[in-house]
């Protein structure tokens, strides 16, 4: 499709995106599409979405919007008032963020756009942003596209789980640090920060004058024994959350609304007002039909989240059972979210090559750990959220027949 002559303009391209690798999911999906077009049937353990349809009430809201007519207008930049209020109520009732009110909420085109708004509001070019690694590649992109420096702190592994090392965060703070980004449950690890570490991290940010940006995309998707807690729900944060905590939320994963592009940020009311500058220039407002779909979904959150967690647990256990019996990979046990990060046997050093091999020879799509930063090298992310158990079993059959040491 793309030819590259010697006078290829790409050779001269000097824009900021040149320094960033393409999103690996896009590349793996392109390879997968190519194989599918050639007639190969693939099993997709790549995408982190929950493969459930959204709650009925979500689509009912959209149908009512269509039927009522007058569907041409923008909403206010931060969103429709009744939807902002519904998100605030959700944060109070399901995330224990007691201070959440409508004017703390801005609706966005998904959690990524909320993160971009936050970066383009809080930082200046050259600022440092601390993240945990291996971590979410779109955060790395957004930080770098904002002209900032991503300072990655490792997630040490204890047994089958990852830990959040707050001492390492404290050591990484410099006078240029502006923001610390927490993703819990994490992507690609599924790790959840323990309460003591969460309190220490929140205190550290408050004491050092740093913003704590907490991406809670997978908040309701936790497994038995684990509980997601937002830094904005901590007692000290309830007094100080107006100062330094921004929560980022999504309707893509929990509510099956990925394609509708709807998420939110929650922070001090004055910061939400401040973030309107980025909001207006990036998207003006979140898509109105998606705002209404979110409103509908929030009316069924209890039933839907319970169902989602039940289904997810079955899927997680099925995939872990499969991976536990493969000699070339060792899964970690996620406390939440829709995937497991699995370590490759030490003989298998190139996770990118292995993932390409998995597509081509096993017909299984996964994401190479290198996609999640240097600390992801030698790991592979297997998603279980998107497939029912019988399809996971089928993927298991393919994986059992796959010999990673055979040449492709």
Contacting a second copy within 13-32 (CB under 8 A):
13-18, 20, 22-23, 25-26, 29
By CB under 8 A, is residue 281 in contact with a second copy? yes
Note whether 335 and 161 are within 8 A (CB): yes
53 or 195, CB closer to a second copy? 53
By CB under 8 A, is residue 147 in contact with a second copy? yes
Sign of the four-CA dihedral 324, 326, 332, 335: negative
Q: What character string, x for contact with a second copy (CB under 8 A) and - otherwise, covers 89-128?
A: --------------x-----xx-xx--x---xxxxxxx--
341: enclosing H helix or E strand? strand 339-344
CB of 334 to a second copy, least distance (A): 21
CB of 331 to a second copy, least distance (A): 25
Residues in the interface with a second copy (CB under 8 A) total: 91
7: enclosing H helix or E strand? none
By CB under 8 A, is residue 242 in contact with a second copy? yes
CA distance 205 to 241: 11
CB of 350 to a second copy, least distance (A): 23
By CB under 8 A, is residue 259 in contact with a second copy? yes
Residue 76 DSSP one-character state: P
Beta strands in 88-172 (DSSP E): 105-108, 128-133, 149-154, 157-158, 161-162
Dihedral Cα 386, 294, 23, 396, nearest 10 deg: -10
By CB under 8 A, is residue 326 in contact with a second copy? no
Say how many CA atoms lie within 13 Å of 150 toward its Cβ.
25
Q: Which of residues 208-227 bind a second copy (CB under 8 A)?
A: 209
Q: Which of residues 37-56 bind a second copy (CB under 8 A)?
A: 47, 49-54
Note whether 228 and 336 are within 8 A (CB): yes
Q: Which of residues 63-82 bind a second copy (CB under 8 A)?
A: 63, 66, 69-77
Count of residues in the chain? 408
By CB under 8 A, is residue 274 in contact with a second copy? yes
167 or 273, CB closer to a second copy? 273
């Amino acid at each position: 499709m793309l030819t590259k002559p010697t006078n290829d303009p790409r050779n001269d391209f000097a824009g900021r995106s040149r320094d960033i690798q393409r999103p690996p999911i896009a590349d793996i999906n392109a390879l997968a599409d190519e194989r599918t077009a050639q007639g190969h049937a693939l099993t997709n353990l790549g995408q982190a979405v929950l493969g459930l349809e959204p709650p009925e009430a979500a689509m009912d809201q959209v149908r009512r919007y269509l039927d009522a007519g007058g569907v041409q207008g923008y909403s206010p930049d931060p969103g429709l008032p009744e939807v902002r209020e519904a998100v605030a109520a959700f944060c109070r009732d399901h995330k224990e963020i007691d201070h959440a009110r409508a004017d703390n909420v801005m609706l966005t085109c998904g959690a990524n756009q909320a993160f971009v708004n936050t970066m383009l509001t809080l930082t200046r070019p050259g600022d440092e942003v601390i993240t945990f690694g291996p971590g979410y590649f779109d955060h790395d992109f957004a930080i770098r596209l904002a002209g900032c420096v991503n300072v990655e702190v490792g997630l040490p592994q204890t047994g089958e789980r990852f830990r959040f090392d707050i001492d390492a965060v404290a050591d990484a703070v410099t006078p240029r640090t502006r923001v610390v980004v927490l993703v819990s449950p994490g992507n690609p690890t599924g790790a959840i920060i323990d309460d003591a570490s969460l309190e220490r991290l929140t205190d550290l940010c408050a004491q050092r004058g740093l913003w704590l940006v907490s991406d809670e995309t997978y908040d309701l998707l936790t497994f038995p024994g684990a509980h997601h807690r937002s830094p904005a729900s901590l007692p000290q944060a309830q007094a100080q959350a107006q100062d330094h905590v921004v929560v980022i939320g999504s309707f893509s994963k929990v509510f099956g609304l990925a394609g509708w592009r709807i998420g939110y940020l929650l922070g001090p009311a004055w910061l939400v007002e401040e973030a309107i500058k980025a909001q207006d220039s990036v998207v003006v407002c979140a898509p109105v039909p998606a705002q209404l779909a979110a409103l509908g979904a929030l009316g069924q959150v209890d039933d839907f989240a319970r169902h989602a967690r039940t289904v997810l647990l079955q899927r997680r256990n099925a995939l872990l059972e499969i991976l536990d019996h493969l000699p070339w990979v060792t899964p970690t046990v996620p406390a939440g979210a829709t995937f497991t990060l699995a370590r490759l046997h030490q003989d298998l050093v190139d996770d990118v090559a292995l993932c390409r091999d998995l597509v081509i020879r096993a017909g299984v799509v996964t994401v190479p750990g290198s996609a999640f930063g240097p600390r992801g090298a030698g790991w592979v992310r297997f998603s279980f959220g998107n497939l029912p158990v019988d399809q996971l079993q089928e993927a298991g059959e393919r994986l059992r027949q796959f010999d990673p040491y055979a040449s492709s």
